[in-house]
Amino acid sequence: MTQKPVLWITRKLSDATLERASRDYDVIINHKDGLHTADDIIAMSPKVDAILPCHSEIFDEAVSAKLDSRVKIIANHSVGVDHCDLVALAARGIVVTNTPDVLSDATADIAMLLMLGAARRCVEGDRLMRTGSWDFWSPSFMVGKQVSGARLGIIGMGRVGQVMARRARGFGMDVHYYNRKRLPEDFEQGATYHETVEDLLIVSDFLSLHCPSTPETTGMMNSDRFAMLPDGAVFVNTARGALVDENALLAALDSGKVSAAGLDCFVTEPGGNSAFSKYENLFMLPHVGSATRATRDAMGFRALDNLDAYYKGNTPRDALT
């Protein structure tokens, strides 16, 4: 009987994913769901043939250099791979895959939730109700920012960005976007393309980030760029926390340049930024953009599909190295 590859699953994934993985692989599962340090990853590597990690496990140059030669594939349970040094892993002959496509709808849903919640002052309203403080009403009470008819700027018109654009059109928004390459006209669906981020910012009543975190995009939303937005703009980030200079965002909120923001990701994760907690015009979630049962199953199965292809001698569908 052929021995099954040994697969380390670094986090507690969906029940369906773990059941399928246990059927097809000799699995080591982190049922306690704790974070793993670089030393943990390096120490485990001589014991396994494959690793199925999440974004929380870091495979930087230092870790990649120390992985045991037994490890042949890292099948990520994530779309973003900024936690992996692809060059360093490729140099070790390690295949890296991700899980695109399957979380676009869920992430775009969260982006819409954050945009609406920030625009309509949901944090403040929720606090009033939960503390029993609602004792007043007038036409000037809890007035927010209208979404319908407003201009939405999208940075990064990939899979999630395109779904976000469709959601926004349903709310009657005028969609504008920046992307490294202009989309074919049938993909644009009437959205207006801008050749530079700066050109997009000046028309964005609402701005939503949907681009990857790379050395070029790290800190892209800085003081200068926040200043280009229309006064009272609403800012949304469901992509990566590293895209935003968080001090610059706070300054924009303090000045009123940005009237509200919705965030699902932060520079420091888990934990976020403690300075954000005093701002009732910050609607925040703990990086749960893809956290639906259907999406978690789909992500896990996509990662396992990539592993299955590799061990059948084929190039995984989502191979990055």
* One domain for residues 118 and 267: yes
Q: Is 287 a catalytic residue?
A: yes
Q: Edge to edge, what strands does the sheet with 174-178 contain? A: 192-194, 174-178, 151-155, 206-209, 233-237, 258-263, 282-284
* 1 part of a folded domain: no
Q: State the catalytic residue, choosing from 159, 287, 296, 302.
A: 287
- State the residue for tokens 């360093």: 88
* 185 part of a folded domain: yes
* One domain for residues 111 and 204: yes
* One domain for residues 86 and 202: no
CATH number of the domain bearing residue 299: 3.40.50.720
* One domain for residues 245 and 174: yes
Q: Is 23 a catalytic residue?
A: no
R_g of the chain computed on alpha carbons:
21
**What pTM, to 2 d.p., does this model score?**
0.92
Predicted pLDDT at 34 = 87
**pLDDT tens series, the chain, 321 aa:** 579 999 999 999 999 999 999 999 999 999 999 888 999 999 999 999 999 999 999 999 999 999 999 999 999 999 999 999 999 999 999 999 999 999 999 999 999 999 999 999 999 999 999 999 999 999 999 999 999 999 999 999 999 999 999 999 999 999 999 999 999 999 999 999 999 999 999 999 999 999 999 999 999 999 999 999 999 999 999 999 999 999 999 999 999 999 999 999 999 999 999 999 999 999 999 999 999 999 999 999 999 999 999 999 999 999 998
* One domain for residues 34 and 53: yes
* One domain for residues 24 and 128: no
Predicted pLDDT at 321 = 85
* One domain for residues 41 and 73: yes
Predicted pLDDT at 179 = 97
SS3 assignment, position 225: helix
Q: What letters, b where the CB count within 10 A reaches 16 and e where it falls short, cover 85-123? A: beebbeebebbbbbbbebbbbbbbbbbbbbbbbbbbbbb
* 320 part of a folded domain: no
Predicted pLDDT at 291 = 96
How many distinct structural domains can be found in the chain?
2
* 316 part of a folded domain: no
* One domain for residues 88 and 110: no
Predicted pLDDT at 286 = 97
* 155 part of a folded domain: yes
Question: CA-CA distance, 210 to 154, in Å (whole number)?
Answer: 7
Beta bridge partners of 84: 59
What domain range is 163 assigned to?
Answer: 104-284
Question: CA-CA distance, 162 to 8, in Å (whole number)?
Answer: 34
Question: CA-CA distance, 226 to 243, in Å (whole number)?
Answer: 12
Predicted pLDDT at 31 = 92
* One domain for residues 89 and 115: no
* 276 part of a folded domain: yes
Q: State the catalytic residue, choosing from 124, 188, 269, 280.
A: 269
* 278 part of a folded domain: yes
Q: State the catalytic residue, choosing from 240, 246, 296, 302.
A: 240
* 28 part of a folded domain: yes
* One domain for residues 252 and 278: yes
* One domain for residues 119 and 238: yes
Q: Is 31 a catalytic residue?
A: no
Question: Beta strand pairing status for 95-97 and 6-9?
Answer: unpaired
* One domain for residues 273 and 129: yes
